[in-house]
Chain A
Amino acid sequence: MCGIAGLIHRGKSSNVGSELQLMLQALKHRGPDSTGYALYAENDGQNFIMRFKVGENVGEGSTSINEDSSVYDKRKKMVDQMLSELGAKVIKEDRLTPYSFRYEMQFNDDLMEFSKKIESIESVEILSIGKSLELIKDLGDAEAVSKRYGLADVKGTHAIGHARMATESGVDIKSAHPFWGYPFSDVSVVHNGQLTNYWNNRRVLENKGMRFMSECDSELIAVYLAEKMRNGATLEEGMKDSLSGLDGVFTYFVATKDSLGMAKDTMAAKPLVLYESDDLVAMGSEEIAIRSILPQEIDTYDPFDGEVKVWQI
């Protein structure tokens, strides 16, 4: 089933970490396996934030193989060495869990080549790179993940998130949402639905040099949009194109450094409730997600089939 939620504050920052946590926790019944956050935080905008993992969470019903934690240290050292070879300067590093890291770094070259080299290290996956984007995903519900990664106090302008019920692939972090729009900084995607032309599209996109890290059909949306943008399309153009390019049922959100968008398939088979005011847009798979941050009576609506909307901060 899965539940998705997103919000954007226009013209100001807010406590998006705790707001998104409330929204996703309200959707826990739609997806208890894993939870993901893409928070567009109040960073200084000077350095890249790279979130990456060197292994999987093997607790809480995970389908991943148990590894000795010492291998995580070895992989981290290999990442550090690779960063040095690539000319990236690490300003600050945080180890959030035994397998998950947040690096603040300076880097000026091509992100695609950079990512390819880092991810050539066994079991290393870059969850996100951006100057604003903080992408966190792990097993457990919204409260558990927020507590594990200290997200409650994160301030920012907008955010999208996902509560996952694993249907198409395993219960693991690599299949959890959001997906980073590799190789673009600050692009993330969450999806509710099933894509039926995943393998056809994947083969075409891989031949064009795009990378897939999981076998989760939802990852296709991030890669699909990234490839469109790589060829010069705007985010909105890419999203409109996806309505015919992606087959299946879907409602998805995509966020960039300064915008938030939603798209709904032409059969409107997946739910979405939307609240829009001058200073806030909030949306989710169910109204209770919006009500968790706006308990007062508000006007909401369902976007129609084939609808694409993009909002700027």
Chain B
Amino acid sequence: MANLKTTEKKTKAQSMGMHTEVLTGKTQQKFFNPDEAENFYYWGTYDVDFNKRTDLDVKDLDCKQANRKIDELMSQGYGTIVIKNPQGKHSLGVGILNKLNLIFEGSLGYFGVGSIDGPMVRVNGRVGWSCAENMMAGKVVIEKNAGSCFGAAIRGGDLICKGSVGARTGIDQKGGTIIIGGDAGAFTGFMMQRGRIVILGDVGINLGDSMYDGTIYVGGKIGSFGSDAVESPMTKSDIDWLKRKLKVAEIGDNFDVSKMTKVVAGKKLWNYDALEPTEKKGAI
């Protein structure tokens, strides 16, 4: 197998015996080889020590500078970083792919902590639109309210908002769990494909519109069901899971989960199970 790091771009594809034409730019193919150590290295990650703690005041930094500073601190082994004065700035704490305790002492703007894979995040404030978009793993806790598109397209992890959230929460959700302590807006679970959404309060119109799969639990009133979203009976395993999850999320003490409404896909618009092999589903 050719060494991809040392092979010239021009000859890389041919060296791998896959192409005769020259592939340039981003159009390149790599093949997994378990003998090469580089294939087990998660680029852009750091080994951090949770006991190594520091504060970072981002009052006078823009989002790029702040994110680079967080990266720099992680590279120095800091495992607990407290961000002071985020003041509603956009795109803070994005793209963190390793374990980390990240605490924001204030509110975030749009696209906060997006595309993360593993960190534990606590926001002692509010978040704007599209918080934790594309999250792969980890836990994010928002102490106050959140804007629209909360947890858009997340694939895993726990995303918790103790207050209320805007419209399209969990849009295109592909896995993981979203838990809302308050109310949620219109089109919650719009086109969701996997995962679970738990709303302790009321939810707006068109709940679960065009959802492929996944489960939504609602504690309060439902504005209306979206296309192909249907009510399903609560089972004991639902109740057990909800009790366990809410305890971990530290919200909903004494909340009677057995009275929640369970909403699933009617599968008349789409039958997601028919679209891909069973073994692939398990990995999602």
Chain A: residues with CB nearer than 8 A to chain B? 266-269, 271, 273, 286-288, 290-291, 295, 297-302, 304-306
B185 near A305 with CB under 8 A, answer yes
A304 near B109 with CB under 8 A, answer no
Return the CB mask of B121-153 against A: 1 if under 8 Å, else 0. 000011011000000000000001111100000
Closest partner residue, chain B, to A297 (CB atom): B106
B90 near A273 with CB under 8 A, answer no
B204 sits at the interface (CB 8 A): yes
How distant is the Cα of A300 from the Cα of B88 in the complex, in angstroms?
A: 10
B residues 86-144 near A (Cβ < 8 Å) are 87-90, 105-107, 109-110, 125-126, 128-129, 144
Question: Using a Cβ cutoff of 8 Å, how many contacts connect chains A and B?
Answer: 76
Besides A268-B185, A287-B109, 13 more A-B contacts (Cβ < 8 Å) are A271-B110, A286-B90, A286-B110, A291-B87, A291-B88, A291-B107, A295-B87, A297-B105, A297-B106, A297-B125, A299-B145, A300-B145, A301-B164
B163 sits at the interface (CB 8 A): yes
Closest partner residue, chain B, to A284 (CB atom): B88
A269 to chain B, nearest CB (A): 8
A287 near B148 with CB under 8 A, answer no
How distant is the Cα of A287 from the Cα of B125 in the complex, in angstroms?
A: 12
Q: Shortest 6 CB-CB distances between A and B: which pairs?
A: A287-B88, A268-B167, A302-B166, A305-B186, A301-B145, A291-B88
How distant is the Cα of A142 from the Cα of B219 in the complex, in angstroms?
A: 45
Task: For B106, list chain A residues within 8 Å (CB).
Answer: 297
Closest partner residue, chain B, to A286 (CB atom): B109
Task: For B166, list chain A residues within 8 Å (CB).
Answer: 268, 302, 304
Pairs A–B under 8 Å by Cβ, sample size 21: A266-B186, A266-B205, A267-B186, A268-B204, A273-B128, A286-B90, A286-B110, A287-B107, A288-B89, A290-B88, A295-B87, A297-B106, A299-B144, A300-B144, A300-B145, A301-B145, A301-B163, A301-B164, A304-B204, A305-B167, A306-B186
B78 sits at the interface (CB 8 A): no
Task: For A286, list chain B residues within 8 Å (CB).
Answer: 88, 90, 109-110, 128
